[in-house]
Amino acid sequence: MSAISKSPLYQIARPESIAIFGASNNFSSMGTIILNAILADGYEGRIFPVHPKEKRVLNLGAYSRVGDLPEVPDLAIIVLPTKIVAETLRACGEKGIRRAIIVTAGFGEVGGEGPARQEEIKAIARQYNIRFTGPNCIGVVNSHMKFNATFLSSACRPGFIGMASQSGSFITQMFDYLDTRFGQGFSTGFSLGNEADIDMADCIRYLGACPDTRAIALYIESIRRGREFIEAAREVALTKPIVAFYVGGSETGKRACLSHTGALAGPDRLYDGVFKQSGIIRARSVEEMFDFCYALGSCHLPKGNSALIQTHSGGPGAAAADACGRSGIELPALSQATMEKLGAYVPHTASVKNPVDLTFTKNPLDYFKAIPEILLQDEGADSLLIYFLATEAMVHRALVSLGVPEAEIEAQVKKIVDDQCASVAELMASHGKPTLGFSFLTRQNPFISGLQDKGVPVLASPERAARALGALVEYGRLRGKLARSKRSSSV
């Protein structure tokens, strides 16, 4: 049995069959909204709605009791009023269901009877050996399984960023964010809610073993099992990067966390220490968390902290250089051999310093092939940042000026864009040095989507690209430190 299949999250993220409680033909109910998302995203497993009155729910055959189901589903999704969650979970246990997502709120995160109700469902789960996420969570998404048990449908493009979040919105609201910026969805994303049972440490181990996940994002308001969290992170970070965004270090943040999931946040400096000890990269914003994961999941690690910058324009190059300095990235001078090689491709107006400001190259296509190849061959640099500003319209105008027949232009534009994007991707793979792009253009530009879809990370600004490169350097250092610690402890 593989490590991932042993995880309590395996059947939660990869169920072959599900029972859903709370879905009906009332399209405004939360249970129905979740079932709609499951259907809209193309889940291919078996679905069993359980409803006391409805014979069919969204054109699916429904069952009045869980005991009437024709099989024991892998997973129960419970979206019912708080007061009947416990009895429903017990009925699931009696049926033999051993995994559940409890979406319903009104438990440990509130006062009154909430904490006692949470203890009750925990006791029932222990009695029947049920492992569950929640309560007070939004669900789970697995883009590779086309399984999306959340409130929003997604583009469901397979992605490589896995996430565990103590806020459901940082799962669902990121569907469009990841798709429009990076052209992908989550590999797997878990909304954890109150973490009454399965918690962040369990998710780290699952995502560490998940073959679809290359980088792990954590949104943290508190850590409930500190020792287990650190042990899991240290083990996983040896082979897979983990990036955390923690809120709660300020007094305002602490109050917000307590009202959100009932979590008791800790001092900011304490979490800094935990992350460093665990080999986790800390992000200071949601944008940074995803930028870092995107770069870490796309690139080789650099051997050191030096970089060359290739740009068409002085301003973006200077901004990237400044951000590199703030991120601990050094900008070495070009070697004499590199400067001599560049001479064949750049005009006299270009700067062959670092940043390399090419203004206009003699042949614009050299920007994607010959010039970055020369820079990647420079032994004094460990990585490359490239500013991309080419557009489809530029290529179209160039072909028109060359007299290419109108009927042939569209196909030639597509081929040129595809070939140039492929050139950068091939260089990045063959030289083994991280190559990060930055651009103020979006995926609506075929050059940007083409680069990203071929595995070249393109970030939204020079500053964000430089900080992401800094994260690559930091992870290399953290991983090396963990490896040395592991070797010394085994002696």
Residue 191: which H helix or E strand, with range? strand 186-191
Average confidence score pLDDT of the chain? 93
Residue 37: which H helix or E strand, with range? helix 30-40
- Tell me: pLDDT of 413 over 90: yes
CA–CA gap between residue 470 and residue 25 (Å, rounded): 51
Identify the three-state secondary structure at position 47.
strand
CA–CA gap between residue 262 and residue 272 (Å, rounded): 22
Report the pLDDT averaged over residues 289-318. 96
Identify the three-state secondary structure at position 317.
helix
- Tell me: pLDDT of 266 over 80: no
pLDDT digits 0-9 by tens, 114-173: 999 999 999 999 999 999 999 999 999 999 999 999 999 987 689 999 999 999 899 999
- Tell me: pLDDT of 5 over 90: yes
Kindly list the distances between the CA atom of residue 109 and the CA atoms of 118, 263, 280, in Å, as whole numbers in the listed order. Answer: 9, 8, 27
Residue 345: pLDDT band by 50, 70, 90 thresholds? confident
Q: What totals of helices (H) and strands (E) does the chain contain, helices first?
A: 19, 20
How much of the chain, in percent, has pLDDT values that exceed 70? 95
Buried b (16+ CB within 10 A) or exposed e, 412-423: bbeebbeebbbb
Least confident piece of the model among 45-49, 188-192, 393-397 = 393-397
Q: Which amino acid is at 367?
A: Y
Residue 317: pLDDT band by 50, 70, 90 thresholds? very high
Instruction: Give the pLDDT of residue 93.
Output: 99
Radius of gyration of the chain (CA): 26
- Tell me: pLDDT of 43 over 90: yes
Residue 281: which H helix or E strand, with range? strand 281-283
Least confident piece of the model among 248-262, 282-296, 402-416 = 248-262
Instruction: Give the pLDDT of residue 257.
Output: 47
Instruction: Give the pLDDT of residue 2.
Output: 80
Domains of the chain with bracketed CATH: 3-296 (3.40.50.261), 302-474 (3.40.50.261)
Structure token digits, residue 144: 């590779």
DSSP conformational letter for 333: P
pLDDT digits 0-9 by tens, 419-430: 999 999 999 999
Identify the three-state secondary structure at position 269.
helix
Identify the three-state secondary structure at position 192.
coil
CA–CA gap between residue 123 and residue 130 (Å, rounded): 10
| In contact, 193 and 221? CB cutoff 8 Å | no
Residue 455 CB burial class (10 angstroms; 0-12, 13-18, ≥19): middle
- Tell me: pLDDT of 256 over 60: no
Residue 78: pLDDT band by 50, 70, 90 thresholds? very high
pTM, rounded to two decimals: 0.93
pLDDT digits 0-9 by tens, 206-240: 999 999 999 999 999 999 999 999 999 999 999 99
Structure token digits, residue 75: 């997973």
- Tell me: pLDDT of 264 over 80: no
Residue 50: pLDDT band by 50, 70, 90 thresholds? very high
Q: What is the DSSP string of 222-252?
A: --SSHHHHHHHHHHHTTTS-EEEEE--SSHH
Structure token digits, residue 198: 């399965």
Least confident piece of the model among 7-21, 39-53, 475-489 = 475-489
Least confident piece of the model among 189-203, 319-333, 399-413 = 399-413
- Tell me: pLDDT of 249 over 80: no
Report the pLDDT averaged over residues 373-389. 97
- Tell me: pLDDT of 109 over 60: yes
- Tell me: pLDDT of 343 over 90: no
Helices (DSSP H) in 194-352: which residue ranges? 200-209, 226-236, 251-261, 268-278, 286-298, 314-326, 336-342
> Which residue has tokens 């400096």?
269
Report the pLDDT averaged over residues 252-279. 71
